[in-house]
Structure 1
Amino acid sequence: MERHERIAQAIELSGKKKGEIAALCGVANSAVTQWISGESKSLRPENLYALAKATGFRAEWLAIGEGAPRQSPGTNISEARHQVESYRYPVISWVAAGAWAEAVEPYPAGYSDRYEFSEYDSKGPAFWLEVKGDSMTSSVGQSVTEGTLILVDTEAEAAPGKLVIAKLPESNEATFKKLVNDGGRLYLKPLNPSYPIEVFDERCRIVGVVVRALQKF
C-alpha cells in the first residue's frame, strides 16, 4: 500500500471530513487533498504527527507502513480512536551532540531554533539529528539513508545490537553506528560495509540510543 493510500484509509476510518483534518493539522484543505491523492511527494514531520493525532493512526505506519496501524489495536476495527501523544524535541548539530555530556543543562537557552515531534516519550533528554553521508546506508537489511531524522534518547539502554550515537576520542563530532559485541569486545559498526568498523574502548562514550527514524520522501 502506498503512503497516500494509507493516509486516505486513516482519514476515512477516522470518521472526520477533510476540512476537519485540515483544521487539526493547521493546513489548507488542498494540502489534505494532495496527501490523499499522492500529488504531494513530501510531508513535513510536524504535519505527519498532527495527522497521526487527528486520525488515531501511528505516524510510522502512515509514513512508511511500519508497525501496527494503531497505537492500541483491538478486536473491533470500529473501536474509539486512540489519541496519539506528541512530544517536542530539538533538532541539533552533530557537534552539539558530541558535546552533549559536557552540557551543564539539557536544553540551554538558544540551544536549537528547530523542533520536531514524535509520539515517543523519552526516558531522558532527547534530540533529533539529521543523518549525514551514507555510512549507515545498506543495500540489504537495516538501512538509514542520508537526510533521515533520527531521535536520540540519552538515557535509553545502550545494549549490543542497538543503533547508537557515540563520541570518539579523536573527533569533536558525534558518530552514528551500530553497537555490536564480537568475542566479548564491543565495536561501532557502520551498516554500509564500505566503511571501517571502530573498536569501542574506554576512550569512547555513548551519547544516546536511536529510538526513532523519520525518513524524508
Structure 2
Amino acid sequence: MEYKDRVKAARKHARLTQVELAKAVGIDQASISDLERGRSGRSSYNASIAKACGVSALWLEKGAGEMLDASSGEASNVATIDQPSFRYPVISWVAAGAWAEAVEPFPPGFSDRYEVSDYDSKGAAFWLEVKGDSMTSPVGTSITEGMMILVDTEADATSGKLVVAKLADSNEATFKKLVEDGGRRFLKPLNPAYPVEMCAEGCRIVGVVVRAMMKL
C-alpha cells in the first residue's frame, strides 16, 4: 500500500470527509485530495493526520507496523469524532490586517504554529495573541494581554460583537467591540481609558472573535 492509499484508508477508517479531515489538521481540502491522489509526497502534517484519524503515525508515514497502535484504538477514535477539535493557524497582527486585501490569505506554509479549538468555523479562521490592555475591562467581559483569540472571518459581525478590524490608515489589525449608533459603526475598547474609534470609509471588519483562551 502506497502512502496515498494509506492516507485515504486512514480517513475512511475515521469516517471523515476530505473537508472534515482538512479542518481538523489545519490545511485545505485540496491538500488532502493531492495526498490521496499521489500528487503530493509525504506531508509535514503526517502526525496531525494520523492523530485526527486515530491511526499510527509510523504506519501512515512508512507503512510499518499496524494501522492502529496500542495507544489509539477504536475507542479513542470514536471519541475524537464525537468531540471534534479544529486546528487553526496563529498569525501576526500585520498578517491579520493584510487578510482584508489578500487574494489568498492562507497560502501553503503560511504559519508554523497552530492551536486547536472545539469551534467549527464558518470560514477561514485564525488565532491572534492579544497585545496591550485596551480590551481589559474593570467589569464584565475582559480580554487581557497575552490571551489568545480565535477569529472567524465569515461569522456575522453585528453590533455588540467583539471583532478584529483594519482601519484605513493602519497596516495592522485592531481588536475592539463593534457598536452601531445612528447608522454609523464604531470600534469601542472594553478599557474605558482608551478612545472609541469610528469605523468609517476604508475600515474593514476582518472577522468576529468567537473564542478566547489563556495562552498555554
Q: Identify the TM-score tier after normalising by the shorter chain.
A: 0.5 to 0.7
3-state SS of 2:132 partner: coil
Distance 1:183 1:202 in 2: 16
Q: Which amino acid aligns with 1:126?
A: A
Q: Which TM-score applies when normalising by structure 1?
A: 0.61
Aligned residue number for residue 140 of structure 1: 139
Check conservation: 2:100, 2:204, Cα contact below 8 A.
no
Distance 1:83 1:146 in 2: 33
Distance 1:85 1:151 in 2: 16
Structure 1 position 101, deviation (Å):
2.2
Deviation per CA, 1:101-137, whole angstroms, max 9, x where unpaired? 2222242122110000001000000000000000000
Structure 1 position 84, deviation (Å):
1.4
Check conservation: 2:130, 2:146, Cα contact below 8 A.
yes
Check conservation: 2:88, 2:116, Cα contact below 8 A.
yes
CA RMSD between the two structures: 1.9
Distance 1:203 1:186 in 2: 12
Q: Which TM-score applies when normalising by structure 2?
A: 0.61
Aligned residue number for residue 101 of structure 1: 100
Aligned residue number for residue 130 of structure 1: 129
Q: Which amino acid aligns with 2:152?
A: D
Q: Which amino acid aligns with 1:98?
A: G
Structure 1 position 184, deviation (Å):
3.0
Question: Does residue 171 of structure 2 align to residue 172 of structure 1?
Answer: yes
Greater CA radius of gyration, 1 or 2?
Answer: 2
**Gaps spanning 5+ residues in structure 1: where?**
1-49, 51-80
**Gaps spanning 5+ residues in structure 2: where?**
1-50, 52-78
Aligned residue number for residue 117 of structure 1: 116
Aligned residue number for residue 36 of structure 1: none
Q: What are the residue-to-residue correspondences of 1:62-77 with 2, within 5 Å? A: none
Aligned residue number for residue 191 of structure 1: 190
Aligned residue number for residue 153 of structure 1: 152
Distance 1:185 1:104 in 2: 28
Aligned residue number for residue 200 of structure 1: 199
Distance 1:102 1:85 in 2: 31
Runs of 4+ in structure 1 displaced over 6 angstroms?
none
